[in-house]
Chains A and B, each alone.
Chain A
Amino acid sequence: MHTLNGALQEIYRDCRQQLLTCALAITRCHDRAEEAIQEAFYRLFRLNKKPRHLKAYVFRTVRNAAIDQVRRNPPPADEVHEFIFDPGANPRETAAANEFKRRVTEAMLTISTDERETIVEHVYGGLTFREIAQVRQAPLGTVTAWYHRGLKKLRARLEE
């Protein structure tokens, strides 16, 4: 039990940014994403035995908690939805960089949820396709297809 909690804390320490980004891609609300992480770790700290693929299991628990958050507290229609990118104006960022960020956000929101989640999990979550397949409980081929199809669509939208 003690080793499991230690391993969980280590995963949290190494992947907190990635976990938040993946949760935020689902909840699209910073507070709800953080609450999902808390809830997930509440459940994880009470596991009786160590899962086989702990990292994937942690990501899956956070993902499920984020989906639960959205189901329990659906965001109001008039709420401005956040996305994973920092909207704060960084003085070092150029106008072109800000414009690219805005266009990527818009393009991301036009592709399917599966494709978007897979891109976020791979690019920002640092998960391999095999790990994503474990997180999503989907075949490896499906996950890679979601990723490549999503990226292709994203590129097409950005080139428009």
Chain B
Amino acid sequence: MKDLESKLKKLPLVAPSPDLDDRVSAQKTGRPVRRFPERRGVPVWVTGAVALIMAVVGFAVGASRRGEQPHRRPGRERRPPVRLHVIYNSPSSGNPFDFTRASDMFPAGKMETTTQTQKGA
């Protein structure tokens, strides 16, 4: 082990910069290096007081509005009725899977439908 230690000790090391002595000496009188601005904590009583005031104001506003009727928001119109587009198989077509020809459009709403089943179709 001793031979390895002595070999290691002979290796040249990175030297300090010439101005490091001055920089270290300057730390004796230098001003503190603050990377981040000092934080001042908010006192608990201020936090509590603000929370209490906000709660009182919130309840007061809520109580005054409780009697009002709900009103529609201005600038928002009713949407046009949706139309329902139904495509069905035309009886005139020979192809039972042809749904391209006959179609009808109905206004949206309640619609009753009946289904007929043809025998031998």
Q: Which A positions have Cβ atoms within 8 angstroms of B?
A: 5, 9, 12, 16-17, 20-21, 24, 30, 34, 37-39, 41-42, 45, 72, 82, 84-87, 90, 93, 100-101, 104, 119, 123-124, 148, 151-152, 154-155, 158
Contact A16 B20 (CB under 8 A): yes
Q: A38-B27, A45-B27, A148-B1 are in contact. Are A86 and B12 (CB under 8 A)?
A: yes
Q: Closest residue to A151 on the B side, CB-wise?
A: B1
Please indicate the chain A residues that have their CB under 8 angstroms from the CB of B33 in the complex.
Answer: 39, 42
Please indicate the chain A residues that have their CB under 8 angstroms from the CB of B30 in the complex.
Answer: 42
Contact A151 B27 (CB under 8 A): no
**Min CB distance, B66 to chain A, in Å?**
54
Q: How many residues of B contact A (CB 8 A)?
A: 24
Question: What string of 1s and 0s marks CB contacts (under 8 Å) between B76-118 and chain A?
Answer: 0000000000000000000000000000000000000000000
Contact A100 B7 (CB under 8 A): yes
Please indicate the chain A residues that have their CB under 8 angstroms from the CB of B28 in the complex.
Answer: 5, 45
CB of B13 within 8 A of chain A? yes
The contact of A37 among B7, B12, B24, by CB within 8 Å, is: B24
Contact A16 B16 (CB under 8 A): yes
Contact A104 B8 (CB under 8 A): yes
- Complex Cα distance, B1 from A155, in Å, reads 8
Name A's interface SS. Answer: helix
Question: What string of 1s and 0s marks CB contacts (under 8 Å) between B1-35 and chain A?
Answer: 10011011101111111001101110110101101
Q: Closest residue to B10 on the A side, CB-wise?
A: A97
Number of A-B contacts (CB under 8 A): 76
Q: Which B positions have Cβ atoms within 8 angstroms of A?
A: 1, 4-5, 7-9, 11-17, 20-21, 23-25, 27-28, 30, 32-33, 35
Contact B32 A42 (CB under 8 A): yes
**Min CB distance, A121 to chain B, in Å?**
13
Please indicate the chain B residues that have their CB under 8 angstroms from the CB of A42 in the complex.
Answer: 27, 30, 32-33
Q: A42-B30, A123-B9, A151-B4 are in contact. Are A30 and B14 (CB under 8 A)?
A: yes
Q: A42-B30, A42-B33, A72-B35 are in contact. Are A34 and B20 (CB under 8 A)?
A: yes
